[in-house]
Every structure is written in C-alpha cells, then in structure tokens.
A and B are shown apart, each in its own frame.
Chain A
Amino acid sequence: MSAGGAARGGGPGPGAAPMRLSPQPGEVIDRSAELSFRWNGRPYPAYQGDTIISALAAAGERVFSRSLKYHRPRGLLTACFHDPGCMVQVGDEPNVRGAHRLVSDGMTVSSQNTWPSLRLDAKGVNRLAGRFLTAGFYYKTFMRPRALWPAYEAVLRRFVNAGSVSPDTAPGRQEKRYAHPDVLVTGGGPAGMAAAVAAARAGASVLLVEEEHRLGGHLRWGGEADLAALGELAARVAAEPGIEVLTNAVTLGRYDGNWIAVLDRGAGDAGAAAERLVKARAKTLVVAPGLIERPYVFSGNDLPGVMLSTAVRRLISLYAVKPGERAVVLTANADGDAAVADLKRAGVEVAAVQDARLGGDVIAAHGRNGVRAVELADGTKISCDLLVTAAGWTAPTALLNAAGNRPVYCPRAARFLPDMASLPGDVLVTGGIAGDGGLAELTQHAAATGAEAARRAGRIRRARWLAGPAGTPRTAAAGHGAEPPPIPVPDLPVDPHPELFAARSNEGMVDFSEDVSATDLLSAVAEGYDSVELAKRYTTATMGPLQGKLETVNAVAIVAAATGRSIAETGTTTWRPPYAPVTLGALAGQAHEPVRYSPMQPWHEAHGAVPLLAGAWIRPDGYGDPAAEARNVRERVGIIDVTPIGKLDLRGPDVPRLLNLLYVNKWSKLGIGRVRYGVMCAEDGVVLDDGVTGRLGEEHYLMSTTSSGAATIWEWAENWLQTEHPDWRVHVTPVTTAYASMNVAGPRSRSLIERVTEGVDLSNEAFPYMHVRTGRIAGVDDCVLWRIGFTGELSYELHVPAGFGLHVWQTLLERGADLGAAPFGVEAQRILRLEKGHLIVGQDTDGLTKAFSAGLDWAIKLDKEDFAGQPELAWQLAGGVGERLVGVQPVDGSVLPAEASQIIDGGRIAGRITSSRMSPALGRSICLALVDARLAEPGTSLTIRLPSGQQVRALVTPHLAHVDPDGGRMRV
C-alpha cells in the first residue's frame, strides 16, 4: 500500500478517498492500519476503526440503500447505529447497521433490495406512483377478485426491503453470561462515567454499558476541551477495579425486579455470531443514555446529503471525513452552532445558517439522487450538496417506561422528560435525559446519582440477605440497623428549546424506513385514525427497524397538530424491548436440553436399539423386530429396561392415609410384602396416573408411577402433605433415578431370577403375584423385586441401585442365554400390554376421561373417606357414565385401524380407537377404544372410519384383555 500524503488515505490508487480529511484530534481511525473491503463488488479502502459507511463516505459515496416503498435513494442521516439509510448486507448477515459496524479486512458488503443496482433501481418507478400508493393504500384495493389475492401478495413480497437469510447459515450460539452488579449504569457518556466512578468509590460493584465502541458519548466529537475531559473521566473509570466496562454493548431491556438484558456485541467488526447475551440482576439501575438527535420533517428531508448535526460532527471528528462541499445549516441549539464551526474547520463552505431561535427555517431540499439545493421560507433557493439540521432531541426513555415511569412532555424544552417524582426506588436517572447544563453540572449530578445508587444497592443487598426464621411472616424489604442517609441529588436545569418537528409545508418523511410521510399521517388522521396508536398502525410509522427512535416524537407532533390537541394530550406510543435488535442466536445461547438415559442405555445402543424419545428420556423402542420380541416374552423370557418409571419412597406412620387420599382404592390393610395396583384421579375425577405401590416394611412403602407422571405425582403428593395435611407424618423421597429398573417377563422368568437371586424364596407359595420382596440380585444388595404383570406373563420387576444396573442387566442376559432370554423394547411392551387390555393413562384416557369411563369400576371405592376425585366420581356414577373404554377387534383381522381413527354412529362421531396393534399371539388386529356408553356392550357392532375414508366393521370384545382375560398366566 502506498504511504500516501498526510491529507489523503492510503489504498489502491490516489483519489480513492477524496473526502478523507487530515488527522483530527480525537479521531478513532488508525491510519497505520490500512484495510480493503468490497462494496457491491468493487474494492474500497478503509482504516482500522472506520465503519463501513465512514469508509464509503470517505470514498465519496453518498447513496447506500433504497427506501421500502418508493425506492428513494437514501444516504447518511445520523452516522450511528440507528441510521435508517445505512442498512447493508455483510456476507450472509442481513440488515447490518453500516454506520456502526467496523470494517474488517476482506469484508464483502452489498446493498439490500436493489435491482439491478443501487444506482439504477428498477423499482424506483414506485416514485411516480407515490401519490396513488399513499399509506394504507392496500386496505383499499386488491380485494377483488379474491382468487387473485395470492398473486397480489407475491408482488407485494417482492418489494420487501431487507436482507436475505441463507438456509446454509451455520448454526452457532454464544454462551450467555450472568452478572450481579450492585449498580448497572447504562450509557457511557460523561454522566454515565461519572456515576459509575462515584458508585464504585462508594463500594458498589458496577457494570457500565456503552453502545458505541468507546466510552465518551458526545465528548468524543466535542472539541479539545471535551476530549481532555473525556481523557480524565476515562482514566478515573479505568482506575476503579470495581467497574466492569462493556463497550459495543447495549442494554436491551429492563424487566421486573431490575432483571436487565445486555447485548455484548463483541469486537467492533465482529459479525452477528459474536453477539452474546449478558443477564444482570442489578440491585439498582442508573439510566444515563443521553439524548438522540431528531430529524426535521420537510420536503426532501430523506435525500442523501441531508444529515443531522451529530452526524457531521461524528464524520469530521471521529472518522476525518468531509461530509460535503457546500452546506446549509438549520440550527436550533448549541450543538448545531458547534456543527457550523466544525464544518468550517473541515473546509466545508457554509453557504447559509438558518437559526430557528430567530425564526429561521428550511422548507424543502431539492435534488434527485442527492441534495442540490435548499429552499428557504421566503422562496430563496441556495445551491449546496449538504443540508445539516439540529432540530432538537428525543429522550430514549425505554428503560424508564419498562420500570413503570411515564415521561412527561415539556413544551418549553421541546422534549419528553422522565417523571423524576415517580421513579421506582431501584431506578435512577442522570445525564442529558434528565436535564441540561454544562459538563460540570451534569457530572456533578451524575456523581451524586451514582453514590445514591450505591447506597440503595447496599440497602437492597442487606434486605435480601436477612434471613428470617422459616415459617414466620416476613416482608421483602425489611432492614435492620442504622442506614446511611440518602444522598441529595441536585436538580438539573431544563433549557428552553424551540419546538421544531415539521416545517410549515407539512410534507416530508417522518419514518424513513417505512416511507411514511407527514402527508400520510395527516390522511390517516382525516380518515378517523386520529390517535397516535391508530395512526401508527394504519401508516406503519415507527414500526420499522428503528422502532420509533427517530420517528415517534415527530409523528406525535403531527397527529397532535392535526387533531388540535397538545403533544402532552396526544401522548406517545410505548417503547418495547429490545431497545436494539438482537439475533436469535444471542437470545437462544447454547442449547441446554439434557437427555436422560438409564445405566443400561450404552448396552442398548451397542446392540442396535432403535431410540425412542419419551419426554426427557431416551429409551429403546426395540431391537429390530418388536413382534418377535413380544413372542419371546410370551414363550420364553424377555427383559425390558423400565428405568424411567416414577418411583417414590414413602416412609412414616401415616403413609396409608396418604395412599387412601391419592388413590381411588383402599390401602389401610395392605400387609407387609404386598402390592396393590392403584389409580389416581384429580379433583375433577379425571384419571391422573396409575401404578403399583408395595409395602416393604412397617412404615416403608414404595410407590411407582408412570414415567411421564414421575415429577407430577411427587409434586401432587407434596401438595397434599404440605398444604392440606401438614400434621401427617410422611416423608416422600423420589428414587426414580436412584434405581435402575428392569422387568423380566415370560414363563421362564422365575427360572432366570432363581439363578441370580439370593435371600428370597421365589416359589409361587412364598412369593405370590402382587407381592414385593427385597434381596440380593447378581451380588447386589438392597434390590427390590416385584411380582407384577403389565405384560400379562409371569414377571418380576427388579429395582436395582442404579450404579449396578448395567451389571445386573448383563448378568441376567448371560445367565439366561440358554433360557432364550432376550431384551424387548417399548414397542414390544406396548403390544403385550394391549393384548392384556392394560390401559395407558394419557393414551387410552384423555384430559376429560373420568375413572368410571376407563374400565376401572372395580378399583373405585366411593365409600372411602375423602380421596381425590371422590365427589366427581360419585356424581359421574349417578349421572350416567357417558363414555367407556372397551376392547375392539375389527371383523377383518388383517385390517389395522390407525390410532385415533374415529368411530361413527348414525353420521355422528361416537368414539375413537385409542390403541391399535397387530397381535402376534392372536395373529390379528386388536384395539382399545373409547366409545359412547350405549355402544359399549360386548358384541356391539361398531363402524370405524379409517383415515383413507373407508369404513370397516368391528366388534366390542367381552373384556379389555384380548389374550388370557382371566390372568392365569401371571399367577403361576
């Protein structure tokens, strides 16, 4: 790269950066580091520290995008993150804020929504149609013929002004961070810095968040004195170990309890993938975001070359870029005046200065692709290529709104101010948003605010850590001992400022991103959309990427004037989080969705198990042939991993009372070593869960629940014990994952169990069906053996201390090899249980199935003292059961109705198939169904409508069980 003259940037060839100025004090570019990047395919030079737009502006470019509807050329307006005309595509990342993103070497940047090129955009023809395409025009047309609406839509979609998303974008999410600062200061300008320093000196831990790449705020382009003050403040910040500074970070929102989301964007040139969410629970929040400069509304105000005073000052002072050659300035405040001085310093010819404080005004900007002339109120036209406005300031009160504060409009200052009297105790405000004054006054206010924020944070910290004895009433904000007195925060003056929103002509852009003009707003008001909310929704003003930061106040002023109300009466729209746009990747962070698996899962995977995701668990659905697995259980012996089954260890003298309350059946006389099947209902009588509970000792029971109900039923039991019966002596301990559980089922299961068990007499006389024992299995002590039978065969369910699960599993299979022992999966189990007519809660019952409908009549003991669901079940029995669960077999046994096929009777839906499988034992299809009670008699002919529309006949079976209805096979 050529060294270049001091006055010109380096880069490929002379004249590549004609608008670059000589080095400026306070410039952020590093002229020793030369970069190159591509814009719309052509190479451009840049320095380290340039933003994409500042580099392009230095090269003399002025048009960066085209507007949404009219495809008008757009250029630089604010030269900061929130600049509507500067959204560009970088690589595969759409909607990049080009005036904030730093250039990195080799970057590929392109304009969005322009064809064939930025200069010559074919959709620019919309400009001519402008008067017909007023805001809301689409509500008035495209209605007929209705069939053409999709075609109209397709056309509308082609005009979407945005970047594109590639389906190949690599997934990649940044981990999130938590922070617990005593004081979070949002805004790193002079007030923010002073507040942070004062808070840190008062002993608080501070997180200081600044949106731009460096601290300093407006001091950075304020001139020599400001730069010196900035240096001093920055040094004080750096000297405080208690302050963490985040730059290129923005506070997205403040939620209840000062739960604050901060977006850390990482390095200045980093793309979206570097975004990272920081979640802070701050004790106090200091809001010091400064003020946002507001555009002025007049005809041609969106032409490239119309800029705000802060934009030109940034360009000149930070990036050493000359904003234009010949300027007209409209100024209404000291910053506008300072901009005039800066322009002159940068060698820009200032052709005219219109002082709004003296009645000066600007009526229109003229030009096609950029400003060529400015028209004044008296009709004079001044030729120029740059029009600078300093029309006033908008307070970014988003965080205050979120904290419940309603800012008040001050006509004298021409802006909204926070309602200082009604701030919540944990939110403070300082800096330009709170008032005006010189640098000394503002930093003094900020220091007092920071110290007070630290004091309040201390008070909150003490209140939170005060431990009251559990069980006694306590208030959340208790405090003890002497507290430091509040630190007085002086008031800030509020300077007068002319109200400058829209020029007399009532033309011009209000929302640059949405192409909504003052005329559009006035039309909307005239049509009856006469509140600021209705006008906003009708015209879409403030609904673009800037979310109202530059648009809302002007829109409010125009609507107010049109409706003859004051701005205060008109009110404003609601700021909503996030304050700045944030990627889905940053919000999502790393995925934390753990999968639960049993100790035997590695064995399953090694042996070709087909995985089944059931809730948070992964289980084996089968090992290749579920029908064969089922047959093996019926004929020999199979083993299934049922670890996800919920297990609750219950101890205490009052356990039977709990069981009687939770289950519909009776539990007072369950002997030690015995097991009972139970069903639980909710208080509305709907079936909640089922399972077996066994008594292991005098005051020791073990309850099993469905796997999906494990956590729910534990909470259910705790709810009763803690809130209704705190006097009952019961301890509940969840042991779902403390045991690995496996079910050994089949005619040869006893033989297999005998080989591995010690300490238990396994004969049918000593250990009958529905009993439970403890003993040693495969050398492992404290195992629980249940004789229960979900599959309908002789079977033993083993609960083994989890660490030994895999050992026991493998031992069983090895020792049982000659018996034909083989694993079976969930699908085989489903077939087996269906052959036996065992219902699955949540499949054969639904959210409205009460217990009497589920074939559980035998279990429900209405004469018990209180149990959950009792009154409703009594009324269900008295009033007629409604629907019933029945066994069903299609007449043609080769037809397998899909589950959820509907049962039709007389043209009406009369039920549905809830479970359906081909039965290996019977060689035909078998089902369970919920049907209207009048169709539930055994032998009734049903009509099933298959998904194909075909209807088939089926018969209601005498029992729910299709195989061995008497259950003899389980009792051997």
Chain B
Amino acid sequence: MILLPCAWCGPRDAAEFHHVGEAVPRPDPRTATPAQWRAYLYLRANPCGWTVETWYHRMGCRRYVTIERHTETNEIRTATVAGAAGPAEAAG
C-alpha cells in the first residue's frame, strides 16, 4: 500500500493504520440544530483532489496523525500529530 509519514514513526505502510476520515470540525452539541449535527455526522466533502484527513497508527505508535493527501494520486503533502494543531492550521 501507500506509505504514510507517521509523525512519530516515519514512513510506514498504510496497512498499519486505520483510516478515520475527513477531518470535520465538531459542532457544539449544546447549540447545534439536528440538521447541523447530522451534517457533521454524515456529510463529507469527498473531493477528487487534496483532502485533510485523520489516520490512526493502529499497528505502531497508536497516535493519530492528520495528513493531507491527494485522493486521486495518493500523494501526501503534509503530516502532523492530530490535535497538536487543528487540521486547518496544519494545511495552511
């Protein structure tokens, strides 16, 4: 499979990871309407192009990484520890 640059372990085969998916900001559950909450649950951008997503290094360091990947070529542009910077900042 493709190599993913784990922020802790270096480049590892994607088979070691669990693909969590597009990094979608979580709305405030106290104020979100059902439509907004379910948009968070179900709607995704699904681009044919660059996307920011989270992976979990299940068979390695067990850390989450935020990766910028091109969904057609599988090129990887950036990789950061998830949560350290928000996904939007990491991509910028």
Q: Which residues of A contact B (CB under 8 A)?
A: 255-257, 259, 281, 404, 464-465, 467, 470-476, 683-684, 715, 718-719, 722-724, 726, 866, 870-872, 875
| Shortest CB distance A663–B (Å) | 15
Cβ contacts B22-64/A at 8 Å (1 or 0 each): 0000100110101001001100000000000010101000111
Q: List 25 A-B contacts (CB under 8 A).
A: A256-B1, A256-B2, A257-B2, A257-B74, A281-B3, A465-B10, A467-B10, A470-B8, A473-B78, A473-B79, A473-B80, A473-B85, A474-B7, A476-B77, A715-B58, A718-B56, A718-B64, A719-B56, A722-B63, A722-B64, A722-B83, A723-B54, A723-B82, A726-B84, A872-B37
Residues of A within 8 A of B5 (CB): 474, 476
Q: Find the A residue at minimum CB distance from B37.
A: A871
B10 x A464 contact (CB < 8 A): yes
Q: How far is the CA of A719 from the CA of B26 in the complex (A)?
A: 13
Docked CA distance A870–B31 (Å): 12
Give chain B residues whose Cβ lies under 8 Å from the Cβ of A281.
3
Shortest distance from the beta carbon of A38 to any chain B beta carbon, whole Å: 45
B18 touches A715 (CB 8 A): yes
> Which residue of chain A lies nearest to B28 when distances are taken between CB atoms in the complex?
A866
By a CB distance below 8 angstroms, the chain B residues around A471 are 7, 80-81, 84
In the complex, chain B residues whose CB is within 8 Å of the CB of A404: 73
Complex: how many Å from CA A872 to CA B29? 9
Q: Is the CB of A866 within 8 A of B30?
A: yes
Distance in Å: Cβ of B81 to nearest Cβ of chain A: 5
Point out the residues of chain B lying under 8 angstroms from A723, CB to CB: 54, 64, 82-83
B85: A residues at CB distance < 8 A: 473
Chain A residues, Cβ within 8 Å of B83: 722-724, 726
Distance, CA A723 to CA B18, complexed state (A): 15
- Nearest opposing residue in chain B for A683, CB measure: B41
Chain B positions within 8 Å of A875 at CB level: 34
Binding site for A on B (CB under 8 A): 1-3, 5, 7-8, 10-11, 18, 20, 26, 29-30, 32, 34, 37, 40-41, 54, 56, 58, 62-64, 73-74, 76-85, 90
- Collect the chain B residues with CB atoms within 8 Å of residue A467's CB: 10
> Which residues from A are CB-within-8-Å of B34?
871, 875
Contact A722 B82 (CB under 8 A): yes
Known: A259-B2, A718-B64, A723-B54. 16 other contacts (CB 8 A): A255-B1, A257-B3, A464-B10, A471-B80, A471-B84, A474-B7, A475-B78, A684-B41, A715-B18, A718-B62, A722-B64, A722-B82, A723-B83, A726-B83, A726-B84, A870-B29
In the complex, which residue of chain A has the Cβ closest to the Cβ of B75?
A476
- Residues in chain B near residue A470, CB distance under 8 A: 7-8, 81
Residues on A with beta carbons closer than 8 Å to the beta carbon of B80:
471-473
Write out the residue numbers on chain B whose beta carbons fall within 8 Å of the beta carbon of A684.
Answer: 41
Q: Give min CB distance, B50 to chain A, whole Å.
A: 14
CA distance A308 to B64 in the complex (A): 58
Cα–Cα distance between A475 and B80 once the two chains are bound (Å): 10
Q: Is the CB of A719 within 8 A of B20?
A: yes
On chain A, the residues within 8 Å of B84 by CB distance are 471, 726
Cα distance, A43 to B51, chains bound together (Å): 65
- B20: A residues at CB distance < 8 A: 719
What's the nearest-Cβ distance from chain B to residue A420, in Å? 19
A473 to B80, CA, bound (A): 5
**B64 touching A719 by the CB < 8 A rule?**
yes
A122 to B62, CA, bound (A): 65
Q: Inside 8 A of B63's CB, which chain A residues have their CB?
A: 722
Is the beta-carbon distance between B29 and A871 smaller than 8 angstroms?
yes
- Of residues A256, A467, A723, which shows the largest number of chain B Cβ atoms within 10 Å of its Cβ? A723
Determine the chain B residues whose CB is within 8 A of the CB of A465 once the complex forms: 10
**Taking A467-B10, A718-B62 as contacts, is the C-beta distance between A474 and B79 under 8 angstroms?**
yes
- From B1, B26, B32, A259 is in contact (CB under 8 Å) with B1
Instruction: Across the interface, name the chain A residue whose C-beta is closest to B23.
Output: A723
Docked pose: A912 CA to B41 CA in angstroms: 28
Q: Which residues of B contact A476 (CB under 8 A)?
A: 5, 11, 76-77, 79
Question: B82: which A residues are within 8 A, CB to CB?
Answer: 722-723
**Contact of A715 with B56 in the complex, beta carbons under 8 Å:** yes
Listed from nearest, the 5 A-B pairs whose CB atoms lie closest are A726-B83, A723-B83, A722-B64, A471-B81, A871-B29
Which residue of chain B has the shortest Cβ distance to A869 in the bound complex?
B29
Q: How far is the CA of A718 from the CA of B58 in the complex (A)?
A: 11
Complex-state Cα separation, A470 to B5, whole angstroms: 11
Q: How far is the CA of A259 from the CA of B2 in the complex (A)?
A: 8
In the assembled complex, how far is the CB of residue A282 from the closest CB belonging to chain B, in whole angstroms? 12
Interface core residue of B7, B29, B32 (most chain A CB under 10 Å): B29
Give every chain A residue within 8 A of B2 (Cβ-Cβ): 256-257, 259
B7 pairs with A464, CB closer than 8 A: no
In the bound complex, residues from chain A placing their C-beta under 8 Å from that of B7 are: 470-471, 474
Distance between Cα atoms of A164 and B7 in the complex (Å):
51
A474 touches B41 (CB 8 A): no
A684 to B63, CA, bound (A): 24
Q: How far is the CA of A792 from the CA of B33 in the complex (A)?
A: 41
**Assembly CA distance A404 to B37 (angstroms):** 40
Contact between B26 and A871, CB atoms less than 8 A apart: no
- Bound complex: CA A473 to CA B64 (Å): 14
In the complex formed, the residue of B with least CB distance to A719 is: B64
Instruction: Name the CB-closest residue of B to A259.
Output: B1
Complexed CA–CA distance, A404 and B73 (Å) = 9
Q: A718 to chain B: which residues have CB within 8 Å?
A: 56, 62, 64
Given that A257-B2, A871-B37 are known contacts, is A475 also in contact with B77, CB under 8 Å in the complex?
Answer: yes
Q: Shortest beta-carbon distance, B35 to chain A, in Å?
A: 11
CB-CB < 8 A to B56: which residues of A? 715, 718-719
Min CB–CB distance B42 → chain A (angstroms)? 9
B78 touches A474 (CB 8 A): yes
Q: Separation in Å of the A256 CB from the closest CB of chain B?
A: 5
> Measured between alpha carbons, how far is A259 from B63 in the docked complex, in Å?
25
Most chain B CB within a 10 A radius of its CB, from A464, A465, A871: A871
Bound-complex Cα distance A684 to B41 (A):
7
B17 CB, min distance to chain A CBs, angstroms: 11
B30 to chain A, nearest CB (A): 7
Q: How far apart are the CA atoms of A866 and B31 in the complex, in Å?
A: 11
Contact B32–A871 (Cβ < 8 Å): yes
- Please report the C-alpha to C-alpha distance between residue A866 and residue B64 in the assembled complex, in whole angstroms: 22
Distance (whole angstroms) from the CB of A873 to the closest CB of chain B: 11
